[in-house]
Structure 1
Amino acid sequence: MNPGLDNTRTIGGLPTKMVWGFVAMLVFMAGDGLEHAWLSPYLIEQGLTVQQAATLFTAYGAVLAVAAYFSGVLTEMWGPRKVMLIGLVTWLIGQILFIELGLKQHSYAAMLPTYALRGIGYPFFCYSFLVWVTYRSPKRIMATAVGLFWAAWSGGLYVVGSYFPAFMTDRIGYMGLLWSAVIWVLVGGIAGLLVVGNDKVSENKGDAKDKLKSLLSGFTVCIEKPKVAIGGLVRIINSVGVGALPIFFPIYLASEYNYTTGEWLTIWGTFWFANIIFNLIIPYISDRWLGWRRTVQWLGSVGCGVMTLVIFYTPQIVGHNFWVMTLVAIIFGIVLCGFVPLSALVTALAPDQKGSAMAIVSFGAGMSYFIAPAIVGLFINSIGAEGVIWIFAILYFSGAVLMKFMKLPEEEEQMERKVALKEQNV
């Protein structure tokens, strides 16, 4: 444990050091997200095609998915601080090389590997911290703790990551934004490392064979507990639609309805601002009343399926109307919070293998950033923006079907008792 931080004080039932960790995550992810909402349109303005931009994000997502998987099991093997440090260093190297060798030299060949390298960064840094959170949080507030993590994650990546460029692009330019991201990540990274200190989440001291078994544990837990695998699929669906929107939707809004980059960044930032606020509310409701599974099934899956279609068709009804689109974005951001209890649900299904279960959840999160741009790149020319939107909406609706199979043991026992009572009454 880190002696420099008080481990007995709490804020809202959470250890104070954990709360400071959430702040560090927000700052780190702000740096990681400063280019996400505008990089695709910017690269297309510089001469790349939509397919090339999508391929860049697909390569990034592929590396991110692998890193997300290994973040969980490596955290159990090495401890969170070592994995977080690797994430911080690789992010900084990837960012600097992406700017200097890729963007400045207008070299697409250099952009691909350097931007992909950066994909190791935030999964190692943030998801290893999330594993630490799941081990340090009592079950009664688990969804709340995970909700705070995702609030910090989305608050940095999308809220600050959208509003800061919206207000600063004219002052420091796109390259200035990318260099400022280095400062954000350094500050958040150092703070996060101080928070976790030398804390461990397990005592994995086995030989090479045991360590290989640990690396494969994320896949073996899916065989032993198929519901964990279903949770991983739902986690992919969770982010696939919203992960794809910045790649093609601002271009669609600009070309068809004359929305500016600044308007899009503000709408996107507001989407995530609403999300971060309700990330603090929805888990509370889920923990105490609605239940984890039903929250993910109805609010998350069905809600996002509906709002994916609404956000696309709204401009066709109202035209260029910034305030209506902002309202739609707020509602979309709220229903997305319905996926927050998924991490708590999956780890509850594998209480003795939380790190392995979280590896699958993290892998799903990473895979969404591979699958989303791949879908855009493959289908945008053949079926257009409308067809792509429908693909993502159908994926969200399929998530609701999958959640029917994600019942906790106690929920299944309750249903069995109800059936038994009903049969007795008959």
Structure 2
Amino acid sequence: MNNPTAHDTREWLGMPLKLIWGYIAIALFMTGDGFELAFLSKYIVDLGFTEAQSSNAFAVYGFAAAIAAWVSGVVAEIITPRKAMIIGFVMWAVLHVLLLILGLGQSNYAMILLFYGLRGLAYPLFLYSFIVMIVQNVEARQIGPSMGWFWTVYSFGIGVFGSFIPSFTIPMMGEMGTLWFALVFVVLGGLVAVFKLGHLTGKAKGDGLSTQEKLSELSRAITLLKNPQIAYASFIRIVNTLSLFGYAVIGPMYFTKNFEFTTSQWLQIWTVFFATTLVSNVFWGIVGEKIGWVRTIRWFGCIGMALSTLVFYYLPEWYNTVAPTGTAGTGEFMMAWIPAILLGWFVAAFVPMTPIFTTLEPTHKGAAISVYTLSAGLSNFAAPAIAGALLAMFPQNYEIVVLTFTACYIAAFGVSFLLKVQQPKH
């Protein structure tokens, strides 16, 4: 059956209007998913666990998210993106309730690891399946602007609303109340996917595939890593968001302990970071087309993030040593806004990674996207894993964690010189 919206090319500022409910679903869902991002690590410590244990919980979550990110693109192609989104939504809601009741509610570390880890499988299915929906339902010329809007609503959800709203709800209803409130946004986003995206499902690619063919399709994302260029790109994408996920883990512990920030203040700093990405995602997408993808990533992504990561740690520390009497605390809070803006500005310089993956493997774009999302998920795993390992060896030594992240960006800078990809004309 023909899709009645297949030839609907209407758009608003580059957003395909037929996908507008999908963008709304992503914004709502990721708002709920983002509630915990910048305060859960501290809350787990407040329950009586060590900083290393808290980081390790995030690492387990990140590993599960990496696996789900890898399979999400292929699963969405096999069973349709909408069905994959619905599965992700139901998994998230059920496992979140179990996490709150049996894990955090009982201060049971084993249950926290189990249900938080399993819940990590859910959001990539919902989030990344929508990328497949975009690719399946828009013309080639619309994919770039459509992806720009995708990352914009993602940032609005997980970062801006997901951080700003808890900065007000935590003082009113506490951390547990805020985590229960997150469920409201996830359910709303899931219901939008259930009832408003039916016209975009199309025919599932898996309808005509045998089980063996489906497994072969699923494994292609890994076999692509045999291509050295894809492997280089994957490493750079993993490094891309190390500081994002890393500071989400160590930031609330470090700033509330060393500078006596409130959790709400830290969340407001994190909101500033993500609010900056709303502009920088678009800016670096344009710059990448003008001066070249790799050049943008190398000089502004890798070097920019290396410097921003250091500034985020050292600028408040510096102010703490020179602060005039009476300005300690407030001054560090305002100083932290500067590196938050810098971090939000330069993390988006990696936006050209998406077209790099699909350009390197033009005949297997779906699998290339799966490698991209797998790499994004591995970043979610690697950042807390690095933090957890280092904090276990050097308790409360946040500086060594920051320096390690910085070294990773310098390594990615070096690897970028090995990356050879046909780029836009400058």
Contact between 2:16 and 2:146, CA under 8 Å: does it hold in 1?
no
Q: Does 1:393 align with 2:395?
A: no
Match of 1:338 in 2: 349
Match of 2:49 in 1: 48
Residues 402/133 of structure 1: CA separation in 2 closer, same or farther (3 Å cut): farther
1:328 partner amino acid = P
Q: Does 1:217 align with 2:220?
A: yes
Q: Does 1:57 align with 2:58?
A: yes
Q: Which runs of 5+ in 2 are unaligned?
A: 321-328
Deviation by residue 1:144-175 (Cα, 9 ceiling, x = unmatched): 33232122212211211110000111222222
1:286 partner amino acid = G
TM-score normalised by the chain length of structure 2 = 0.90
Match of 2:209 in 1: 206
Cα distance in 2 for partners of 1:34, 1:158 equals 8
Deviation by residue 1:275-308 (Cα, 9 ceiling, x = unmatched): 1222223212323x12222222222111111100
Contact between 2:14 and 2:145, CA under 8 Å: does it hold in 1?
no
Cα distance in 2 for partners of 1:281, 1:192 equals 29
Note the 1:15-414 alignment, pairs <5 A: 15-140=16-141, 142-193=143-194, 194-195=196-197, 197-200=200-203, 202=205, 205-223=208-226, 225-287=227-289, 289-319=290-320, 320=329, 321=331, 322-383=333-394, 384-409=397-422
1:190 partner amino acid = L
Contact between 1:73 and 1:217, CA under 8 Å: does it hold in 2?
no
Cα distance in 1 for partners of 2:22, 2:292 equals 27
Match of 1:7 in 2: 8
1:300 partner amino acid = G
Deviation by residue 1:297-339 (Cα, 9 ceiling, x = unmatched): 2221111111000111001211242222112211210111101
Cα distance in 1 for partners of 2:423, 2:308 equals 32
Residues 146/294 of structure 1: CA separation in 2 closer, same or farther (3 Å cut): farther
Contact between 1:159 and 1:270, CA under 8 Å: does it hold in 2?
yes
Deviation by residue 1:221-267 (Cα, 9 ceiling, x = unmatched): 222x3322222211111112210112222222222222221111100
Cα distance in 2 for partners of 1:285, 1:201 equals 36
Contact between 1:5 and 1:17, CA under 8 Å: does it hold in 2?
no
Contact between 2:6 and 2:137, CA under 8 Å: does it hold in 1?
no
1:400 partner amino acid = F
Match of 1:422 in 2: none
Contact between 1:65 and 1:363, CA under 8 Å: does it hold in 2?
yes
Contact between 1:143 and 1:284, CA under 8 Å: does it hold in 2?
no
Contact between 1:150 and 1:340, CA under 8 Å: does it hold in 2?
no
Bigger mean CA offset, 27-36 vs 141-150: 141-150
Contact between 1:76 and 1:204, CA under 8 Å: does it hold in 2?
no
Deviation by residue 1:151-202 (Cα, 9 ceiling, x = unmatched): 2212211211110000111222222211211110111122234336323575
2:211 partner amino acid = A
Bigger mean CA offset, 152-161 vs 32-41: 152-161
Cα distance in 2 for partners of 1:255, 1:169 equals 18
Bigger mean CA offset, 56-65 vs 377-386: 377-386
Q: Shift in Å at residue 272 of structure 1? A: 0.5
Cα distance in 2 for partners of 1:175, 1:163 equals 16
Contact between 2:82 and 2:197, CA under 8 Å: does it hold in 1?
no
Contact between 2:35 and 2:178, CA under 8 Å: does it hold in 1?
yes
Residues 200/230 of structure 1: CA separation in 2 closer, same or farther (3 Å cut): farther
Contact between 2:280 and 2:349, CA under 8 Å: does it hold in 1?
no
Bigger mean CA offset, 65-74 vs 104-113: 104-113
Cα distance in 2 for partners of 1:329, 1:243 equals 13
Bigger mean CA offset, 13-22 vs 359-368: 13-22
1:316 partner amino acid = E
Root-mean-square deviation (CA, aligned residues, Å) is 2.2
Cα distance in 1 for partners of 2:212, 2:251 equals 47
Cα distance in 2 for partners of 1:5, 1:92 equals 32
Residues 364/406 of structure 1: CA separation in 2 closer, same or farther (3 Å cut): same
Cα distance in 1 for partners of 2:300, 2:187 equals 36
Q: Shift in Å at residue 4 of structure 1? A: 8.3
Bigger mean CA offset, 106-115 vs 248-257: 248-257
| DSSP 3-state at the match of 2:107 | coil
Bigger mean CA offset, 107-116 vs 303-312: 107-116
Q: Shift in Å at residue 5 of structure 1? A: 10
Q: Shift in Å at residue 120 of structure 1? A: 1.1
**Pairs aligned (count):** 411
Bigger mean CA offset, 99-108 vs 378-387: 378-387
Q: Shift in Å at residue 391 of structure 1? A: 0.6
Q: Shift in Å at residue 274 of structure 1? A: 0.6
Residues 137/407 of structure 1: CA separation in 2 closer, same or farther (3 Å cut): farther
Cα distance in 2 for partners of 1:201, 1:129 equals 14
Q: Shift in Å at residue 395 of structure 1? A: 0.8
TM-score normalised by the chain length of structure 1 = 0.90
| DSSP 3-state at the match of 1:351 | coil
Cα distance in 2 for partners of 1:410, 1:265 equals 38
Bigger mean CA offset, 145-154 vs 64-73: 145-154
1:398 partner amino acid = A
